[in-house]
Amino acid sequence: MQDSKQLPKPEEVIPKGLYTFHPGLASRGSGARLFSSDGREFLDLTSGLGVMILGYGEKRLLEAIETQARKLVHQCAHVMMHEAYLELATSLCRLAPFEGAKVFLCNSGAEAVEWAVKVARSATGRTAVVAFDGGYHGRTLLAASLTSRAKPYRKGYGSMAPEVYHVPYPYCYRCAWGKKQESCSLECLGGLERFFFLERSPEEVAAVVVEPIQGEGGVVVPPKGFLQALSALCSKHGILLVADEVQTGLGRTGRLFCVQHHNLDPDLMVLGKALGGGLPLAALVGKAQLMDRVPASGFGSTFGGNPLACAAACCLLQLLVEEEIPQRALRLEAFFTKRAQAWMDEMPSLGQVRASGAMWGLELIQGKQQPEPAPKLAREVVRKCREKGLLLLSGGLYRNVLRLLPPLNISEQELEKCFGVLEVVMRELSSERDAS
């Protein structure tokens, strides 16, 4: 590996379109800590965009990868099925939130989402697909069409995929229907019913694709009962429900799959990010009668289900189950919400705290009496935290939400240090805003 001092600047060889949140060159990681090539150390509450759910350098994952590398580095499942692929598929079928599952492995969440749509269309004979405002499903053409944001995901790329439609997603903090929790009657579900009346009849819709919690959209948690009502509406019309669990799955929200919080029975489920333990891997897990509607050779991927990634995933699933790691996410949630609610009481620029397991969002606003989004403040918080050795993300419909995705095995001492940095930065910026 070339010495980082001899490497060119990224902008000399990498296109400007590959935007990075944080400057510098990552060199190595250990647990919840990331080290840059210039010797800086960061506490990382991004987990590499939700991937490193057990932190960096988990020895048992590395040992599983090394053992597999000595046996078989690559085999395409088209040529011959291999042991690691079959072992992982078996584990996912056993753990799936519905009976009678089958599994197809590919390389990324976006790819798996596209496969879900292809299966839905093949199984139903219908073409229309519905996604939600504020949703994120990837950057490939069909996935970007499902993603509900023009810039940077769609602008300049010409026509998006046909027969893709969007309806409102419930954003309770900024409820479009002016409702509060105590008066909510799931008016938000009316957006889909209105779509059936105005755009496409339900008999033309193959699938509804939904994130149980919108991640890139700002850690937006739907109101109680929404997902169950959505599932019932889909079932009524023979529409397949696709749960995009790329970010919420595999313990992140306190259950192995987020849909389990809602006793939800999706027809198809998409997994990615954490699945490969840091290696590129995604999965489409679906009910067998749907998956088998795809004809012979209809599924395919040269690298999907790579033996190294499968070995890592098998090890990861074993650790998640045997060590009850999703329960750790619930303990982290309690630790976070107790601290964050105290911030709510003293920081006028903090509009709402949202948390599900170890998936956290802090919505920043101009002030309690002026709850307009504060995207500039969010950018400043991210920048100043980085200067103090803490890595965060920002996101949301208005880019005003701080997104925190810690590894599930982060220590409370490390979290306490993270919260201390965030607290100091928020207070400093609040003081500066008050002074101006």
Supply the pLDDT for residue 117. Answer: 98
Q: How many CB atoms lie within 10 A of CB 334?
A: 10
H/E/C letters for each residue in 100-136? CEEEEEECCHHHHHHHHHHHHHHHHCCCEEEEECCCC
Residue 370 has pLDDT above 90, yes or no: no
Peptide bond into 8 cis (omega under 30): no
Q: What pLDDT, on a 0 to 100 scale, did the predictor assign at position 110?
A: 97
Decide if pLDDT at 389 tops 80. Answer: yes
Instruction: Give the per-residue pLDDT at 160.
Output: 86
pLDDT the model gives residue 2: 60
The share of the chain scoring above pLDDT 70, in percent, equals 98
Cα dihedral value 91, 97, 100, 104, nearest 10: -60
| CA 239/CA 120 separation, integer angstroms | 9
- What are the pLDDT digits (tens) for 302-349? 999 999 999 999 999 999 999 999 999 999 999 999 999 999 988 999
pLDDT exceeds cutoff 70 at 227:
yes
Query: Nearest-CA neighbor of 131 among 123, 157, 283, 120?
Result: 120
Structure tokens that stand for 368 in this block: 């309690």
DSSP assignment string, 4-72: GGGSPPHHHHS-TTS--SS-S-EEEEEBTEEEETTS-EEEESSHHHHT-TT-BT-HHHHHHHHHHHHH-
Cα angle 285, 113, 392; round to 5: 105
Query: What's the token pair of residue 101?
Result: 């599952």
Arithmetic mean of pLDDT, 238-254: 98
H or E stretch including 429?
helix 412-435
Say yes or no: domain 72-322 is CATH 3.40.640.10. yes
If you average pLDDT over residues 104-131, what whole number do you get?
Answer: 98
Query: Under a CB-based contact definition with an 8 Å cutoff, are residues 122 and 293 in contact?
Result: yes
- Domain 4-57+325-435, CATH homologous superfamily name and number: Aspartate Aminotransferase, domain 1 (3.90.1150.10)
Q: Take residue 342 and report the two structure tokens written for it.
A: 């105290």
With residue 421 as reference, give the H or E element that holds it: helix 412-435
Total count of residues recorded for the chain: 436
Q: Where is pLDDT greater, at 280 or 175? A: 280
Q: What angle do CA 400, 404, 408 make, to 5 degrees?
A: 165
Q: What is the pLDDT of residue 31?
A: 97
> What's the average model confidence in pLDDT over 278-300?
96
Please give the mean pLDDT across all residues of the chain: 94
Whether the Cβ atoms of residue 317 and residue 146 lie closer than 8 Å to each other = no
pTM given for the model: 0.95
For residues 122 and 294, is the Cβ–Cβ distance under 8 A? yes
Per-residue pLDDT, 155: 79
Query: Are the beta carbons of 89 and 105 closer than 8 angstroms?
Result: yes
List beta partners, residue 128. 205
| pLDDT at position 434 | 61
Residue 182: the pLDDT is 76
User: pLDDT at position 258, please?
Assistant: 98
Give 1's pLDDT tier (boundaries 50, 70, 90): low
Measured distance CA(89)–CA(280) in Å, rounded? 16
The pLDDT-based confidence of 210 (bands split at 50, 70, 90) is: very high
pLDDT at 4: 67
No. of helices (H) and no. of strands (E), the chain: 13, 16
Class of residue 54 by CB neighbours under 10 A (exposed 0-12, middle 13-18, buried 19+): buried
pLDDT in tens, 23-56: 999 999 999 999 999 999 999 999 999 999 999 9
pLDDT digits 0-9 by tens, 125-162: 999 999 999 999 999 999 999 998 877 778 777 888 89
Q: For the chain, which residues make up each domain, given as ranges? A: 4-57+325-435, 72-322
- The amino acid sitting at 179 is K
Average pLDDT over residues 254-270: 97
Using the Cα atoms of residue 153, residue 159, residue 164 and residue 165 in order, give the sign of their dihedral: positive
- DSSP string of 295-337, one letter each residue: PTT-S--SSTT-HHHHHHHHHHHHHHHHTTHHHHHHHHHHHHH
Quick one: average pLDDT of 166-189?
Answer: 87
Confidence tier at 72 by pLDDT (50, 70, 90):
very high
Cβ partners under 8 Å of residue 236, min gap 6: 202
What is d(CA 362, CA 353) in angstroms, rounded to the nearest whole number? 5
Whose tokens are 């489409």? That residue is 284
Listed residue (411, 422, 310, 393) closest to 49, CA to CA: 393
